[in-house]
Amino acid sequence: MRKIIVSRLLLTVAISLTLVGCKRSGSGSNTSRATGWQINSKDGGFQYNTKFKEQETAPGLVFVEGGTFTMGRVQDDVMHDWNNTPNQQHVQSFYMDETEVTNKMYLEYLDWIKRTYPPEEENFRAIYNGVLPDTLVWRNRLGYNEVMTENYLRHPGYGEYPVVGVSWMQAVEFANWRTDRVNEMYLQKDGYLKQGSNLEATADANFSTDTYINAPTQTFGGNEDIIKGGKMKPQTNAAGDEINVFATRETGLISPKYRLPTEAEWEYAALGLSEIRSYNVYRGRKKYPWDGQYTRSGKRKIKGDQLANFKQGKGDYGGIAGWSDDGADITQVVKYYDPNDYGLYDMAGNVAEWVADVYRPIVDDEFNDFNYYRGNVYTKNAINDDGTVKIVTTDEIVFDTLPNGKVIPRDLPGSIATQPVDEEETYLRTNFDRSDNRNFRDGDTQSSRYYADRFGDDEGDGSEDANTRKMYNAPKHNIEMDSSGNMIREYDKSNKRTSLINDEVRVYKGGSWKDREYWLDPAQRRYYPQNMATDYIGFRCAMSRVGSKSKNQKKSKN
């Protein structure tokens, strides 16, 4: 009997020692499993958010769980574009705006730009003018649309209508601005920035996410009252040095960037395939964001009502007065029609939408079928001689003149200057070897067909160098400023041009209030110059998801 008791005592001691050993080995969330040292200690060691659970859904967005789908044509190609051949793609989980960006949202952007870079100052005038939507897109030589030209952007009656007249380039800048404002709000809430810092922004002292990450002491021009003046009292280590003064990516507080969705993401989100899924397979194909093959509702209460805002037929933009087919003649207020299964509104109709991709007639799924995107231009931060990142100041703004004559800043004051990657980043790499990859495998010298015999002088300057000739021989308009500041416009009149496709045309997706039913199919693809705008193209933003693919994923015990 005594032997049994002693054996049990020894077993208990052994188990206790084992547990102690496990504890010492670093199984706790604040103990490193690599070294055994404490994480987040007050001695100023490694700081990391060990309590992070899941990415917070940023303002305006809804979650779209990624997966595989057939990207491309569902119906017959009646236009004979041959630009959307079906191909299998996989998209990672991401977030997308539940509606198009509205006039009210864009006006908030204009207000911030106007307060921060007053257009009354000559050095800033081009900044404000460069982000203004083109309200003249409403004009028609044989139509009276001045009420939209004068009121559509700013009148409260159109506040919740999708913004139009915005170029692809302006949409990208809006997304960048939105990233900074949202992260500024997060950092204020957590005490890393002074409350109300957003109202103290000036041209020389404002918040930029990239600047805060790479050179936090230079945020708001280095004003410590703002970047250290919040509710959070900086912690100090044993030596009395301040720690945890600035939020880093390791804190999990800094949101990924708002951006335009890729074409694959937009099409995947528009289809809303979850409603036709059963046992992890899809029941057939979908033509529209809603289930079914028709644009009219089959539900009893709203039977016959149109499910999107589009052009019904010649001279019919909204139906008979008093009995409107789709409730709108031009654009419609957002959330007027039912969302698809992801909770996204107007993924067909209302306005077509810019996506991030450079247009090509093919989707090169032979090279890549995961998060497909054509348009990568890799850059890096510009570095000063002393090794610090170069922050753009008001005296160093560089302006670019676009082919349509619009002048825009390359980088805003307060942001980090960037430059193309070079051999330091590309040498002996196998995954990329250049900065600009927009025409990779389609239009570059590695894949071009030389048309010297057929088209002769490509540049219109007497040269016939086939080595400079590209597959997409688009017009090349030129604008320069003379010594007096006058703009000299040179319109390309060459009769040797063979295409409108080049590296500056972007894809836009979805039908609009001005399009017939054919274009409501999410698979349809069209393109437009990235520096130009129309009265029927708007946009919405997306954001990548970090961490798990699904919100329902089983949590790790560690």
Tens-place pLDDT, residues 218-268: 999 888 888 875 555 566 666 767 777 888 899 899 999 999 999 999 999
* pLDDT score recorded for residue 558: 57
* pLDDT score recorded for residue 421: 96
Angle of the 122-131 helix axis to the 168-189 helix axis, nearest 10: 100
What does DSSP assign to residue 137?
G
Are 88 and 71 contacting, i.e. CB atoms less than 8 angstroms apart? Answer: yes
d(CA 89, CA 82): 18
DSSP state string for 138-202: G-BTTB--HHHHHHTTT-GGGTTSBP-S--HHHHHHHHHHHHHHHHHHHHHHTTSS-TTGGGG--
Q: What are 125-131's contacts with CB under 8 Å, separation 24+?
A: 126/399, 126/407, 126/408, 126/409, 127/397, 127/409, 127/412, 129/406, 129/407, 130/170, 130/406, 130/407, 130/408, 130/409, 131/170, 131/173, 131/174
Distances (CA, A) of 88 to 68, 113, 375, 405, 494: 7, 42, 20, 41, 40
* pLDDT score recorded for residue 294: 75
* pLDDT score recorded for residue 311: 93
Are 254 and 186 contacting, i.e. CB atoms less than 8 angstroms apart? Answer: yes
AA letter at 360:
R
- Tell me which residues of the chain have a pLDDT lower than 50: 1-2, 5-6, 9-27, 278-279, 281-283, 451-469
Length of the chain equals 558
pLDDT in tens, 155-180: 999 999 999 999 999 999 999 999 99
Which tokens in the block code for residue 418? 């960037």
* pLDDT score recorded for residue 288: 86
The half-sphere exposure of 427 on its side-chain side, counting CA atoms within 13 A, is 3
Burial 428-458 (b: 16+ CB within 10 A, else e): eeeeeebbebbbbebbeeeebebbeeebeeb
* pLDDT score recorded for residue 78: 72
Residue 61's DSSP bridge partners are: 97
d(CA 415, CA 390): 9
Closest CA to 101 of 328, 331, 274, 406: 331
What does DSSP assign to residue 131?
H
pTM: 0.89
What does DSSP assign to residue 461?
S
* pLDDT score recorded for residue 448: 52
Q: How far apart are the first and last CA of the chain?
A: 41
Are 211 and 299 contacting, i.e. CB atoms less than 8 angstroms apart? Answer: no
DSSP state string for 43-111: TS-----TT--SPPPPTTEEEE--EEEEES--S--TT-------EEEEE--EEEESSPPBHHHHHHHHH
Closest CA to 178 of 537, 545, 540, 536: 540
Are 379 and 360 contacting, i.e. CB atoms less than 8 angstroms apart? Answer: no
* pLDDT score recorded for residue 131: 95
Which tokens in the block code for residue 228? 């250290």
CATH number belonging to domain 61-376+509-544 = 3.90.1580.10
* pLDDT score recorded for residue 307: 82
Burial 333-372 (b: 16+ CB within 10 A, else e): bbebbebbebebbbbbbbbbbbbbbbbbeebebeeebeeb
* pLDDT score recorded for residue 233: 57
Are 408 and 400 contacting, i.e. CB atoms less than 8 angstroms apart? Answer: yes
Mean pLDDT over all residues of the chain? Answer: 84
- Report the SS3 class of residue 270: helix
* pLDDT score recorded for residue 466: 43
Return all residues near 291 (Cβ < 8 A) that are at least 6 apart. 275, 276
d(CA 419, CA 378): 9
AA letter at 408:
I
d(CA 290, CA 337): 11
